[in-house]
Chains A and B, each alone.
Chain A
């Protein structure tokens, strides 16, 4: 597994810049599709900065550490090939230890595409944030292309004093394209209690009404921003409308959620960027 990481050009001690590689050829595909796992572990170092003892990607999931000056480590998820395709199962795991600060982004949107045999794809993200640790998880959009079927789960477990900023954006089809079938579930647990558990199913084959006036009503981009901070225990943000199709609401715990709908990815990002500035 470490040889794989070395081939993707990752050097934990020295590579501090984003390097671009041509897309790798897809490895031989079993009927079950590509299985790939990326792992990040962050912990504080002796100089008060954040070290990344584990930074491992494989297959379509490549990771790069990018240069920073502050105590926070920045990691970029770089799509090394297209996908996920039907039948693929991708897993990303990040663990942030007490005292560490990690920020993760992605270089481009993830596009769910159909596979050859019509099998669904899976994409699982598992985030662990210890007491006194901080994680910013701000990937680019997930685009559900026509004919694709993807099941995404994102699960964050946060210690009582941990801090999280997490953004999820789903775009239904590329420009002018009908969407595929997308199921997503976002679960955020803090100190052993579930703060947020939400599923959304949309696209052809989803339960009827998904595009109707109660759920999406023709909006083609939907996103969420969740901010968990121990300070919110005493005083959290008040509910507020952010334009006509987005709202900020405190959760039942020291956390706030922004839910936003927009006609397209760009306008969704504007709303969520404004919300991010407001909350952090």
Chain B
């Protein structure tokens, strides 16, 4: 296993289409709920401890080799917003295309056959991490980090926020990212014995409501 594979997978320049999504930040900016670095940080904390935690646990469980079909169903049940399910599958399909070239593996080929329209992105991320020789906690780190780095990068563009300030937000969140990744890997290990109900299901009501509103906008900078 190469630990450096984690840097490749987590790199914002990894060609998986993530840059086109704001993780709900565009809707929150429009609603006046994100206005600068402090509210961005609060937004990121909320996202990390809700959908970020769920995504990290799904990714970790997929990295452990749990059945991707069961995990994808668990992701559906934890993603009530139809707009967010569409976004998650689109991101999953793009990630799978890149990952199959980067780390060719039969498990990734099987995933493409099982989900022609795309599986939920965290499930694909976990299987990709596995193909890259990474472990459950690595996959959880990658997913948890994406849950906050996406909105932080988006807000730099949406509000012309100083990129130094956005990066400082991410740096301040690092200890919580450690906690979330560890807890996600732990719940994924429990899910091996107890099934997918052992995975967290934390939700963020405003992200769900905002995503439905955002999907209906005629003009927007980000896809979600």
The CA-CA distance from A240 to B81 in the complex, in Å, is 11
Q: In whole Å, how far is B87's beta carbon from the nearest beta carbon of chain A? A: 13
B100 interfacial contact with A, CB 8 Å: no
Residue A15 interfacial (CB < 8 Å): no
Interface presence of A276 (CB below 8 A)? no
The answer for the CA separation of A215 and B44 in the assembled complex, in Å, is 10
| Cα of A255 to Cα of B187 in the assembled complex, Å | 28
Contact A212 B82 (CB under 8 A): no
Rounded to whole Å, the gap between the CB of B152 and the closest CB of chain A is 13
Q: Please, what's the 1-or-0 string for B6-32, where 1 marks a CB less than 8 Å from any CB in chain A?
A: 000000000000000000100010010
- Residues of B close to A213: CB separation below 8 A: 28, 33-34, 39, 42-43, 46, 206
Instruction: Tell me the bound Cα distance from A247 to B50 in angstroms.
Output: 19
Contact with A along B63-83 (1 / 0, CB 8 A): 000000000011011111111
Say whether B174 faces chain A, with CB atoms less than 8 Å apart: no
Tell whether B190 is near chain A: CB-to-CB under 8 Å: no
- In the complex where A198-B80, A215-B205, A249-B80 touch, is A241 in contact with B216 (Cβ < 8 A)? yes
C-alpha spacing A170/B121, complex, angstroms: 31
| From A197, A209, A260, A261, contact of B46 by CB (8 A) | A209
- Chain A neighbourhood of B44, CB < 8 A: 209, 214
Shortest distance in angstroms between B34's beta carbon and chain A's nearest beta carbon? 6
Tell me whether A249 and B202 are in contact (CB under 8 A): no
Q: Is the Cβ of A251 less than 8 Å from the Cβ of B206?
A: no
CA distance A26 to B206 in the complex (A): 39
Main SS of chain A's interface residues?
Answer: strand
Q: Which of A194, A244, A247 contacts B81 (CB 8 A)?
A: A247
Interface size on B, residues (CB 8 A): 43
The interface residues of chain B lying within 8 Å CB-to-CB of A159 are: none
Check A208 against B208 for contact (C-beta < 8 Å): no
Which of A57-65, A88-96, A199-207 interfaces with chain B?
Answer: A199-207
Q: Let me know if A261 and B206 touch, CB within 8 A.
A: yes
CB distance A214 to B215 under 8 Å?
Answer: no
Please, what's the 1-or-0 string for B181-223, where 1 marks a CB less than 8 Å from any CB in chain A? Answer: 0000000000000000100111111111100110110000000
List CB contacts (< 8 Å) of B70-115 with chain A: 73-74, 76-83, 85
A259 at interface, CB cutoff 8 A:
yes
Q: Is the CB of A217 within 8 A of B82?
A: no
User: Among A222, A239, A244, which residue has its beta carbon within 8 angstroms of that of B205?
Assistant: A222
A123 interface hit (Cβ, 8 Å):
no
Contact partners of B203 in chain A: CB under 8 A = 198-200
Known: A200-B202, A208-B176, A209-B46. A247 touches B78 (CB 8 A): no
**Residue pair B49, A216 in contact (C-beta under 8 Å):** no
B78 surroundings in chain A (CB, below 8 A):
197-198
Residues of A within 8 A of B206 (CB): 213-217, 219, 245, 261
**Assembled-state Cα–Cα distance A32/B79 (Å):** 36
Question: In the assembled complex, how far is the CB of residue B217 from the closest CB belonging to chain A, in whole angstroms?
Answer: 11
Give chain A residues whose Cβ lies under 8 Å from the Cβ of B74: 194, 197
Is A265 located at the chain interface by the 8 A CB criterion? no
The reply on A246 being an interface residue by CB < 8 A is: yes
* Beta-carbon contact of B45 and A249 below 8 Å: no
**Does B130 reach chain A (CB closer than 8 Å)?**
no
Which residue on A lies nearest to B49, using beta carbons?
A207
Chain A residues with CB under 8 Å of B81's CB are: 247, 249
Q: Are A212 and B42 in contact (CB under 8 A)?
A: yes
A249 B73 Cβ-Cβ under 8 A:
no
Binding site for A on B (CB under 8 A): 24, 28, 31, 33-34, 39, 42-50, 53, 73-74, 76-83, 85, 176, 197, 200-209, 212-213, 215-216
- Of all A-B residue pairs in the complex, the 7 with the closest CB atoms, nearest first, are A209-B46, A209-B45, A214-B46, A213-B33, A212-B42, A207-B49, A247-B212
Q: Which residues of A contact B (CB under 8 A)?
A: 185, 187, 193-201, 207-210, 212-217, 219, 222, 239-241, 244-252, 257, 259-261
A-B CB contact pairs (8 Å), 15 listed: A185-B201, A197-B78, A198-B78, A198-B201, A198-B203, A214-B46, A214-B206, A215-B46, A216-B206, A239-B216, A241-B213, A241-B216, A245-B209, A246-B209, A249-B80
